């Protein structure tokens, strides 16, 4: 499969994502400028990635301006046709602003920017994955009706947990509702998460847990290495 990584003014994790996909996971990657519109080189078997950063300086709400970029109009059409889309951190915020995922990302509960390693796990999995976070507005929020629907449909793909896989308030770094770290849409082709799996794919950095996430969600969901995570996203 091919990957397209969108670059907005203010993106700062686009090259991290490119490097992780291209060099650590051996995937074909094309960088996509926000003012362009052409996605004709991609099929619905491919994936578009919205990376982390501060798109358009995060003026107004995070992701609110990026949602109207020319490329995002094409990404919305691509997703509506069944193409895979992944938004990480700021990319998750953009997906929510664009209406491709429900809910919003609010200011962290402690009102501070947080940058550290945390643990997450997938629904039905006991494996705690160590993944970095770096955000000031990562507190996932939705109304109770939406949250109940996400739970019922298996759309909560990752929750914050401790290193032993326990989901509790002490393991929640930003106050996210129900410890939610990542969700998917009802059709199972659009994913958003606040943690940065692309920062945990290299042996040189001492952590390859991010490979498990990117494999499970996008590349090889039938792999035995990621079977548990793959089952939760129902490919």
| Residue 105 tokens, joined | 């990302």
DSSP 70-130: HHHHHHHHHHHTT-EEEEETHHHHHHHHTTSSSSEEEPPTTSS-EEEEEEEE-TT----EE
Catalytic, 198? Answer yes
DSSP 15-36: HHHHHIIIIIS--EEEEEETT-
Domains and CATH numbers, the chain: 2-232 (3.40.50.880)
DSSP 186: T
Asked if 101 and 139 touch (Cβ cutoff 8 Å), the reply is: no
Task: Find the Cα–Cα–Cα–Cα dihedral 92, 166, 209, 223, rounded to 10°.
Answer: -90
**Paired residues of 233 in beta bridges:** none
Catalytic one of 89, 97, 135, 137: 89
Each residue's pLDDT tens digit in the chain (235 positions)? 899 999 999 999 999 999 999 999 999 999 999 999 999 999 999 999 999 999 988 777 788 888 889 999 999 999 999 999 999 999 999 999 999 999 999 999 999 999 999 999 997 788 999 999 999 999 999 999 999 999 999 999 999 999 999 999 999 999 999 999 999 999 999 999 999 999 999 999 899 999 999 998 887 765 433 333 433 333 2
Catalytic one of 13, 47, 137, 196: 196
Burial of 210 (0-12, 13-18, 19+ CB in 10 A): buried
Residue 32: partners with Cβ closer than 8 Å, 6 or more residues away? 4, 5, 6, 7, 39, 48, 71
Catalytic one of 96, 137, 161, 198: 198
CA distance 197 to 21: 10
Sign (positive or negative) of CA dihedral 100, 175, 49, 62: positive
Q: Give backbone dihedrals phi and psi of 230, rounded to 5 degrees, phi first.
A: -65, -40
- The candidate with the shortest Cα–Cα distance to 94, out of 133, 134, 49, 136, is 49
């Amino acid at each position: 499969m091919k990957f397209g990584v969108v670059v907005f003014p203010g993106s700062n994790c686009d090259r991290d994502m490119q490097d992780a996909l291209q060099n650590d996971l051996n995937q074909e990657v094309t960088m996509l400028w926000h003012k362009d519109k052409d996605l004709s080189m991609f099929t619905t078997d491919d994936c578009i990635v919205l990376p982390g950063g501060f798109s358009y300086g995060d003026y107004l709400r995070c992701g609110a301006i990026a949602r109207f970029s020319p490329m995002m109009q094409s990404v919305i059409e691509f997703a509506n046709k069944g193409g895979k889309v992944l938004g990480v951190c700021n990319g998750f915020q953009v997906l929510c602003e664009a209406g491709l995922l429900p809910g919003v990302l609010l200011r962290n509960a402690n009102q501070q920017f947080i940058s550290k390693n945390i643990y997450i796990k997938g629904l039905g999995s006991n494996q705690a994955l160590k993944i970095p976070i770096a955000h000031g507005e990562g507190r996932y929020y939705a109304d109770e009706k939406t949250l109940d629907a996400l739970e019922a449909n298996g759309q909560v793909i990752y929750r914050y947990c401790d290193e032993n896989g326990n989901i509790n308030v002490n393991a929640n770094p930003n106050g996210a509702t129900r410890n939610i770290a990542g969700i998917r849409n009802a059709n199972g082709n659009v994913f958003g998460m606040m943690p940065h799996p692309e920062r945990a794919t290299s042996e040189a950095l001492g952590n390859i847990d991010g490979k498990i996430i990117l494999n499970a969600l996008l590349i090889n969901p039938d792999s035995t290495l990621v079977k548990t995570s793959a089952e939760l996203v129902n490919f």
